[in-house]
Amino acid sequence: MTIILTGGGSGGHITPILAVAEEIKRREPASNIVYIGQTGDGLGDIPSKHPAIDKVYTIRAGKLRRYHGEGLKQVLDLPTTFKNIRDIFYVLIGIWQSHRLLRRIKPSIIFIKGGFVGVPVGLAAAQLHIPYITHDSDALPGLANRIISRWAIWHAVALPTEVYNYPASKTITTGIPLQANFVPVTTDLKRDYRQKLGLPLDSKVLFVIGGGLGSQGVNNAVAETVPHLLAEFKNLRVIQVAGRNNREDLLQTYKAKLSDAEMERLNVLGFIDDVYLYSGAADLIITRAGATNLAEFSLQGKACIVVPSSFLAGGHQLKNADYLAEQGAAVVLQEKQLFDDPNRLAQQASELLGNQAKLDDLAKKLALFAKPNSTTSLCNLILEQAKPDEA
């Protein structure tokens, strides 16, 4: 049984794919799991290192660059328009590459998580009559999944099916697949995580993550915040995931702002594949509003300050964050607020780190959104389609 998993462009696509691969391999050890990624993907090497992935291929794929709130401005931007036109040809190349790959691999089923690599794979699969399942984590499906939606046999979604415009008969709520190491964090488990990371058990821990590729906006805001917090909380430890391409610049920024003693309480990382360890050890998390990260932290039961990206197409992170804010499950700060008042993030983080009751309340409310069986539900669906005679 060969199963193809595809998607990419962000950690929000890659980590659910790895969760699916792990679960399928656990249940079907003899299965052949193939990952198809996009040529040039900044996180494309991650699946190739994962033990549940048997083979990795890359194809060309194009991206339609759309930025929330930019309107006509982005249409008139010549570099953006040139890249969009160029990428039309990338899509055509990708369809040809996918067609050749699929004919050779002959998969039983294809799982398409999202990202523009799914377009050429999905279109080629439709031509070859190979069944595929799409998955959407956000309330607003991504453009790639919408393009290939008419030929999908199932649309797996994170939220109730009525939120989506897909045909009700082909839409099923599974939640977001998460890797098995994301579990509710007890006091004992939090202590274990801290011991593994070499963090003092009695310290306060702030964990910052701007997504798999990092976020320059979050990095800049946190770089203004950390010196104030380290000065105020003498037992504070800060762990910041800056993104592979941002780590060195951010380190230099901190070295100019902090003393040697303060630098010892700060750990700046590029990319990590064991997020659960750092987030599980934390008292407070500063994060983007990507659906996957929010699902992970809700399952762990963590207090979060959420800074949604205001430029992503469709404003889906803004919608994710607004929903949590309405339920009192997270503190949401808009990027404009941070630009207008550089001290805003420091004030908010300080208020929470100094108020354990508030941290506990946020953690409990976010935990209400957890869906612990999401990976199992989605893999059930995939395997049922891969082995229809046994279903």
Whether residues 167 and 238 share a domain: the answer is: no
> Cα-flanking dihedrals φ and ψ of residue 363, to 5°?
-60, -45
Residue 51 within any structural domain of the chain: yes
pLDDT given for residue 390 in this prediction: 53
Nearest by Cα to 314 from 286, 340, 289, 285: 289
Q: Note the pTM of the prediction, 2 decimals.
A: 0.88
Whether residues 362 and 378 share a domain: the answer is: no
Q: How many CA atoms are closer than 13 Å to the CA of 302, on its beta-carbon side?
A: 32
> Cα-flanking dihedrals φ and ψ of residue 190, to 5°?
-60, -40
Whether residues 206 and 152 share a domain: the answer is: no
Nearest by Cα to 272 from 222, 205, 208, 177: 208
Residue 274 structural domain: 187-367
Whether residues 217 and 150 share a domain: the answer is: no
2-6 and 204-209 beta bridge pairing:
unpaired
Token pair 């976020």: residue: 215
Tokens of 205: 């821990």
Q: Which long-range contacts (C-beta less than 8 Å, at least 24 apart) are formed by 40-44?
A: 41/8, 41/9, 41/117, 42/213, 42/244, 42/245, 43/8, 43/9, 43/10, 43/11, 43/14, 43/212, 43/213, 43/271, 44/8
109-112 and 236-241 beta bridge pairing:
unpaired
Those residues whose C-beta lies under 8 Å from the C-beta of residue 303, and which sit 6 or more positions away, are 283, 284, 285, 352, 358, 359, 360, 362, 363, 366
CA 143 to chain centroid, in Å, comes to: 17
Tokens of 237: 């430890």
Those residues whose C-beta lies under 8 Å from the C-beta of residue 56, and which sit 6 or more positions away, are 34, 35, 36, 37, 47, 48
Those residues whose C-beta lies under 8 Å from the C-beta of residue 201, and which sit 6 or more positions away, are 191, 194, 195
CA 90 to chain centroid, in Å, comes to: 25
Residue 181 within any structural domain of the chain: no
Tokens of 81: 């328009």
354: CATH: 3.40.50.2000
Residue 47 within any structural domain of the chain: yes
pLDDT given for residue 310 in this prediction: 72
Per the structure, the count of domains in the chain is: 2
pLDDT given for residue 241 in this prediction: 94
Whether residues 26 and 126 share a domain: the answer is: yes
Q: How far apart are CA 206 and CA 233, in angstroms?
A: 11
Whether residues 238 and 157 share a domain: the answer is: no
Whether residues 210 and 255 share a domain: the answer is: yes
Residue 391 within any structural domain of the chain: no
Q: How far apart are CA 149 and CA 171, in angstroms?
A: 11
Whether residues 104 and 54 share a domain: the answer is: yes
Whether residues 255 and 282 share a domain: the answer is: yes
Q: How far apart are CA 264 and CA 384, in angstroms?
A: 51
Whether residues 240 and 308 share a domain: the answer is: yes
End-to-end, the C-alpha distance of the chain in Å comes to 14
Burial tier of 32 (Cβ tally within 10 Å: 0-12, 13-18, 19+): middle
Q: What is the pLDDT along the chain (391 residues), one digit of tens a residue?
A: 999 999 976 667 899 999 999 999 999 999 999 999 999 887 888 999 999 999 999 999 977 655 545 555 555 566 777 777 877 899 999 999 999 999 999 999 999 998 899 999 999 999 999 999 999 998 888 889 999 999 999 999 998 899 899 999 999 999 999 999 999 999 999 999 999 999 999 999 999 998 655 578 889 899 999 999 999 999 999 999 998 888 999 999 999 999 999 999 999 998 888 999 999 999 999 999 988 999 999 999 999 999 998 765 557 788 888 889 999 999 999 988 888 888 999 999 999 999 999 999 999 999 999 999 999 999 999 999 997 655 4
Residue 182 within any structural domain of the chain: no
Those residues whose C-beta lies under 8 Å from the C-beta of residue 119, and which sit 6 or more positions away, are 61, 62, 91, 94, 144, 147, 148
Q: How far apart are CA 151 and CA 109, in angstroms?
A: 13
